[in-house]
Amino acid sequence: MELRHATHPTQVPTFDTAALRENYLVDNLFAAGELRATYTHEDRIVLAGAVPTDSAIRMTSFDQLRTEIFFERREAGIVNVGGSGSVTVDGERHPMEKGSCLYVGRGAVEVDFASDAAGDPAAFYVFSAPAHASYPTTLTRAGEGTRRQLGSSETSNERTINQYIHADGVRSCQVVMGVTELQTGSMWNTMPAHTHDRRTECYLYFDVAPEHRVVHIMGEPTESRHLIVADREAVISPSWSLHCGFGTGSYSFVWAMAGENQAFDDMDHVQPSELR
């Protein structure tokens, strides 16, 4: 498991492109047959990726967590961004087509990731945070959460926000999670942009064609920087950071947060004219 330290917003102007990527971009979570993870001290979030092929992959703990079992003091939201597969939690198998979201509560012991077909492997994205209580493991099929339509074609940001784990949906201690899909021809996510000083948020971009990229904007609103992001790469947004972007082609993304509260609308919006 890789380790990322928390950063101070005044460091951002001192970072060159490589340093921005080292601190905020997670570009190596998905590899065939492997379980990979990154730990960030921002709200102690763990991001992991599992791509099972011929055999299942079991979720393990990591030395840095000092626990026998990954879910001993943690919960997670899991979204499949690849081919159809399943996640089995302590003997109960949850079928997961692309875009489905499984909440796994504190105390789960055996969590196994499997693909339906090794030739079209599932790719499970795991977003985990510390948990003080145990909520039931709950599956939401793709598109069956709370759907919010935002944006318009005039501003190239017409999109559907699928909220899965949230205050009015699947319950959790900290994790709030969903998937945003852009309508054909819309390129911008999260504009007007926002920060939320009470939560860290990560975006995992997926369904980005190999020749395309997402230009992700980060940093304090009046001191913005950008990251060029490819398919299945994640960006860590500390609580002070903007998180918005546009694609050179179509894309979707998993957004997930952890921190002080779970109020989705607790955002400090920033209008385009206020950005620098």
Ligand X SMILES: O=C[C@H](O)[C@@H](O)CC(=O)C(=O)O
Q: Find the shortest distance in angstroms from Cβ 163 to Zn ion.
A: 12
Q: Kindly state the smallest distance separating residue 100's Cβ from Zn ion, in Å.
A: 22
Residue with smaller CB distance to ligand X, 52 or 245: 245
Is 212 annotated to bind a ligand? Reply is no
Per CB under 6 A, 255 contacts ligand X: yes
Binding to Zn ion by CB under 5 A, coded x per residue (else -) over 197-216, reads: ----x---------------
Residue 243 labelled as part of a binding site: yes
* CB of 174 vs ligand X, minimal distance in Å: 14
Stretch that binds ligand X, among 32-40, 95-103, 135-143, 188-196 (CB under 6 A): 188-196
Q: How far is the CB of 194 from Zn ion (least distance, A)?
A: 6
Sheet holding 138-140, edge to edge: 2-4, 35-40, 45-50, 124-130, 74-80, 101-104, 138-140
Tell me the sheet residues that pair with 195: 268
3-state SS of the chain is: CEEECCCCHHHHHHCCHHHHHHHHEECCCCCECCEEEEEECCCCEEEEEEECCCCCEECCCCHHHCCCCHHHCEEEEEEECCCCEEEEECCEEEEECCCCEEEECCCCCCEEEEECCCCCCCCEEEEEEECCCCCCCEEECCCCCEEEEECCHHHCCCEEEEEEECCCCECCCCCEEEEEEECCCCCEECCCEEECCCEEEEEEEECCCCCCCEEEEEEECCEEEEEEECCCEEEEECCCCCCEEEECCCCEEEEEEEECCCCCCCCEEECHHHCC
Contact positions with ligand X (CB under 6 A) in 135-164: 150, 159, 161
Number of residues that bind ligand X (CB under 6 A): 11
Among 40, 140, 174, 190, binds ligand X (CB under 6 A): 190
Residue nearer to Zn ion on the CB measure, 201 or 220: 201
Instruction: For residue 154, report the phi and psi dihedrals to the nearest 5 degrees.
Output: -60, -35
Q: Which is nearer to ligand X, 41 or 269 (CB)?
A: 269
The nearest distance, CB 256 to ligand X, in angstroms, is: 9
Rule CB under 6 A: say whether 195 interacts with ligand X. no
Looking at the Cβ atoms of 61 and 160, the one nearer to Zn ion is 160
- Please state the closest distance from residue 210 (CB atom) to ligand X, in A: 23
Residues forming contacts to Zn ion in the complex (CB under 5 A) are 201
Q: Which residues are annotated as a binding site for Zn(2+)?
A: 194, 196, 201, 243
Could you list the residues that contact ligand X (CB under 6 A)?
Answer: 150, 159, 161, 180, 189-190, 196, 201, 243, 255, 267
